[in-house]
Structure 1
């Protein structure tokens, strides 16, 4: 922490990585809750991988993101991968599941 006081740019970078980790954890939590709430037959009807696959990926992403936030390690390579997994689920399979579930915006 001493180097953070000497170099303000490092302090800004540190807190930006922590903020990104918090956003990633929120995104992973949203993706996990959404995946768990969906019925398993909806995944089959939409022609996607099964519910267990997406649930396992999202729970793993949530665990990595929660670890990053809890230990203030910031957003490392595993955190970025976890963020990508959650974003892929929310952008791809979730939208496809919304089409097959009759959900309208």
Structure 2
């Protein structure tokens, strides 16, 4: 087998692996975005009001609290999406 053929096969394998990784990353990002829609938009809406405390009293009205809430939602959704991808991959549902 010539070295050019070996190089072409190695290049094709590298491109294929890169395409699979891009597909995986896109699938996970789309699933995380889909999961994020089930969370409230605002941190103040996430806090249960039936406990007798108002969200303003616990500090959920600040921009920092909203940023922390957004980071929380993103990390939870990404973790769940990664788990769902690995399960789908195991079951053969993802190409």
Q: TM-score, normalised by structure 1?
A: 0.39
Larger radius of gyration: 2
The structure with the greater share of residues assigned to helix is 1
